[in-house]
Structure formats: structure tokens, C-alpha cells
Structure 1
Amino acid sequence: MITPSEIEDRFEEAALTLRRLPNPPGSGARGYGRSWPEYVHEARHAYGYEEAKMRVIPNAREIQRMEEALEWLALVGGDSEQTIIDNRRIVWMRAEGHRWKQICRAVGCARSTAWRRWTAALVTIANRLNKRRKPGARPRAAKSTGDGERGKPDGGGANGPP
């Protein structure tokens, strides 16, 4: 059973993963720009004398979990289309770590209303995800060969027969 706090953690993880994805300059739409590469204005920048930046790029599993969490935003509902958009914005901005004051300014509501919408959205997502799962169904382990003990080698060793 998925709880709203687990949903909150997954959204925070998704926001962190999205922030860690590589986005090099020039990878977006070009628009009305020039096609020439950036010109180096100072000699000290030409040979890599600026501070090195290290980025940890997420692996495929983290990206898959991020995409799954982003699909959960479609489960958030509301009375009108604008309310749905605002509720999704509240959930995502909170996952990115924005303060309530910034969220309230972006959405245009009071802090208590934003918190109530955020909580309701997390509970709604948790309930809809729990309904998708069949009650009583548990994830199965990998199938064994049927020799009794799973994953243990035959014969001696520390856990084997004396």
C-alpha cells in the first residue's frame, strides 16, 4: 500500500533526477540565432582554467522512476481545468523544494489553501494508485528450480550441511 508520504518522497526524487539530467547549451531549440559556436573572449577561458563542474548523471532506473512519478501528476484532479493545473503546479513546486510563499504567489491562493490542495492531491494519487493494485496480490519472487532452498548452492560452505 502506497502512502502519501511515499508519494511525496518519489516526487522529490523525480525533481532531483530531472535537475541532474544533462542539458548542454545549444541542446534546445535554436530559434533565430546564429549557427556559429560561442566565441572565447578571454585567453584564460580558452584552455579550461575556470573551475571544473562535476555532474552526476542519473542512470536508467532513476529516469524510469522519474517518468513514472511524472505520470502520477495526471491523477491529480480538481473542479475546473485551472484548478487541476494549479494543483499539479503546487505538487511539483513543493517537490522542487519551493517555499510555500513562492507557491502561493505562483498559484494565487492562501498558504492554508495551498497546503490543503497539496495534501489532497497526494492522498488522491495514493488512493488511485492503491486502487490500481489488486487487493491481496503480492509481488512474486523469481522462480526457482523447485529444489527446496532458493538461491543456495549445493554442498558445503558456511550455510551448508556439515
Structure 2
Amino acid sequence: MTDWTIEAVAERLIDADQIARRLPPVRVQGYYNVWPLFVRTEYERMAGDDPPPRRFPPDPKAVDRMLETMSWMQWLEQEQRHLVWMRAQRYSWSDIAKRNACSVSTAQRRWQSALSALCKRINQPREIAGSG
């Protein structure tokens, strides 16, 4: 993809958020549970203690895409990062506006401006190290 647009960057951010949610949880090593497994009665099993839905981890290419997208965030200011990431997580514009203490239209303009800055930076030709 040579020319990135605001819509393409927004979709890539949404994709990165979904991939990040599918990653396995981080667990601290060295702790373990010594409690025995409880054998539940049939009535207890029907009462609703359903296991959480199983999510399959993303493939390595998707994780690389997510990490590349996350690296774009360092080009933004902190408030822009929060705004862009909240939108990628599908927060409503009213929630984003409350968090940024502005109106909905101002939040949308700031989001557009942050994504256009990302597009401009991504679309810049990259210099090859060691040339010249």
C-alpha cells in the first residue's frame, strides 16, 4: 500500500485493537494454585458458571501488523494518542468528547487532524540508511 488515507489508517487502528484483544493474557510466573479442583454437582454446573469464550490467538503476521501500527502512535502527542485509540476501541464520540473536555465536533476535528498527521508521516518516502 503506497498511499495511506485517513480511512485506511483508522481501519488499521481498529484492526490493531482487535488483534491486541486476542493476545493471551500476561501472567506472572512463579505463582501457582495449590487448591484442588472442585467437583461440582449437576445443579451447580447448570447454575451458570459458563467458561469464558475461547479466543484463538492471532497469527504472527497479524501481531507484526499490530506492532507496526502501535509504533505509529509515538508520532502523536499524548492527548492525540488517547483520542485516536479510544476511537479505535469504538468509544462513542460523546464519551471521547467528555474525556477530552470538548464538544463532539471538536473531538472529531482533532481525530481527523491526528489521523491526517499519521497519514502524512506514513506516506513520507523513507531514507535508506547508508546512502549518500
> So what's the TM-score if we normalise by structure 2?
0.77
Q: CA deviation at 1:40?
A: 6.5
Q: CA deviation at 1:74?
A: 1.5
Does 2:95 align with 1:102? yes
- Rg (Cα) greater in structure: 1
Q: Which structure has more helix as a fraction of its residues?
A: 2
Query: 2:25 is aligned with what amino acid?
Result: N
Aligned-pair identity (%)? 29
Instruction: Tell me what 2:75 maps to.
Output: 75
Does 2:111 align with 1:118? yes
Structure 2: state its 5+ residue gaps: 128-132
1:54-78: CA deviations, max 9, x gaps? 21210100000000011111222xx
Q: How does 1:12-161 map to 2 (within 5 A)?
A: 12-23=14-25, 27-28=27-28, 35=31, 37=33, 39=35, 43-44=39-40, 50-52=49-51, 53-76=53-76, 84-133=77-126
Instruction: Tell me what 2:130 maps to.
Output: none
RMSD: 2.6
CA distance 1:36–1:20, change in 2 (3 Å): closer
Q: CA deviation at 1:38?
A: 7.1
Structure 1 runs of 4+ off > 6 angstroms?
none
CA distance 1:38–1:95, change in 2 (3 Å): farther
Distance 2:106 2:38 in 1: 52
Structure 1: state its 5+ residue gaps: 77-83, 135-162
1:1-44: CA deviations, max 9, x gaps? 111110001000000000000106xx1499xxxx5517469532
- 3-state secondary structure, aligned to 1:44: coil
Q: CA deviation at 1:133?
A: 4.7
Q: Which has the higher contact order (CA 8 A, sep 6+)?
A: 2
Number of residue pairs matched?
118
> So what's the TM-score if we normalise by structure 1?
0.64
1:80-131: CA deviations, max 9, x gaps? xxxx211110000100111112212222222111111100011111111111
Distance 2:61 2:70 in 1: 14
